[in-house]
Amino acid sequence: MKKCFLHLGLHKTASSSFQQTCASNRKLLAKEGLHYPLFSCVYSRPKRLKINNHSVPLRSIYDRNPRNYHINKRWNIQQIDEAIHDYEVQFASVLASDSSIILSGEGLSLLSTTALSQLVERIQAMNFAIHPIALVRSPLDYAHSIAQQLIRGGQHLELVGCGSLLSPQSMKRLTIPDGQREILNLLSVFGDQLTLVPFRRACSHPQGPVGFLLSEFCGFSKLDLIKFQSSQESKSNGWVRVQNLINKRWPIFDQKKQLNPDHFRLRHELDYTGKFRLTSKEIELLSSQIEKSNHSMINLLSDEFVIADNFVSEELSASDLAKVVADLCKISLPSHDVF
């Protein structure tokens, strides 16, 4: 029977790197009997002709309200019904394949159990045996990573400060999740079929989590021929904190949940400010949530799923902020005005 290797994330577990690597090595995978499909959307602005994240087409097809799906909003898709029909045709072609397939979409874990079950039934109806997997970060590591992700995506987090310019505050609502809701949803659909792996264990593979997924999960044996891709999504400590200030004033979506035309992202990487992590004070504000999440994760899975790195960022000093502001002012000037 054909196999469908269904990679379900979770979020912030190198999913983008896995998708980009598979997309860049499609011919090599095909020689091993593995089809990694690419989708297209001619209704986005600009057109997207090589979509390697399968969350996009499958969330559009199976989500309860695809018009509110954030990717469809960001891509400014006006003809949503036509776009979904096009995705349906492309997905039907994928399922007609005579070879095994790899589907990868971290956003699929956010589908309702009903919608995810419908997707599973459709795949199985085309004579595929489904092999589902999700990599899981520890709650503390997840908090560091998702905080950066949300800010990169245009949201403002009260939790994340910016030196003396902005003090961190407790969140009024739970904005930083730990992934357990998604895990419970996946378990309710897949049961014992679902493979859950601590992200740290996957990272210990000689070729990292992407190599782990290709070899240990998909059974691909020629990793030495693979050209690995990195999404390079990580931003610096200064970038994340200054961007968070921008998001407070001009968030990605306005109060009506429409794209905010005034929103913008920093172009300067500010690499000299080091890697972004939450500070000790910010983690302290999350301590009760993290403790509760750790306890629940141990009961749900095991102790291995809560092991975390204790490294934190130092608060930006006044001199750090002065340098950041000076650098941003400098790069905003026309070249002939810089002396």
| CATH code of the domain covering residue 97 | 3.40.50
Q: CA–CA separation, 215 vs 327, rounded Å?
A: 44
**Is residue 165 domain-resident?**
no
**Is residue 324 domain-resident?**
no
| Residue 336: pLDDT band with limits 50, 70, 90 | very low
Question: What is the 3 state secondary structure string of 178-224?
Answer: CCHHHHHHHHHHHHHHCEEEEHHHHHCCCCHHHHHHHHHHCCCCCHH
| Residue 122: pLDDT band with limits 50, 70, 90 | very high
Side-chain half-sphere CA neighbours of 106 within 13 A:
14
**Is residue 160 domain-resident?**
no
By CB neighbour count within 10 A (0-12 exposed, 13-18 middle, 19+ buried), where does 130 fall? middle
Q: Which amino acid is at 59?
A: R
Convert 228-257 to b/e letters by CB count within 10 Å (16 or more is b).
bbeeeeebbbbbbbbbbbbbeeebbbeeee
Q: CA–CA separation, 74 vs 253, rounded Å?
A: 10
Residues spanned by the domain of 203? 2-138+178-225
pLDDT confidence of residue 199: 96
**Is residue 276 domain-resident?**
no
pLDDT digits (tens, 9 = 90+) for 24-57: 999 999 999 999 999 999 999 999 999 999 999 9
Q: Where are the alpha helices (DSSP H) in the chain?
A: 15-24, 26-31, 55-62, 70-74, 80-95, 113-125, 139-152, 180-190, 199-203, 208-212, 237-249, 280-285, 287-300, 318-332
Which tokens sit at 127?
Answer: 């004579």
How many domains does the chain fold into?
Answer: 1
Q: CA–CA separation, 60 vs 265, rounded Å?
A: 26
pTM value? Answer: 0.85
**Is residue 336 domain-resident?**
no
Q: Which residue has the higher pLDDT, 253 or 111?
A: 111
- Residue 172 carries which DSSP code? S
**Is residue 118 domain-resident?**
yes
pLDDT digits (tens, 9 = 90+) for 304-331: 999 998 899 999 998 988 988 888 887 6
Side-chain half-sphere CA neighbours of 205 within 13 A:
17
**Is residue 77 domain-resident?**
yes
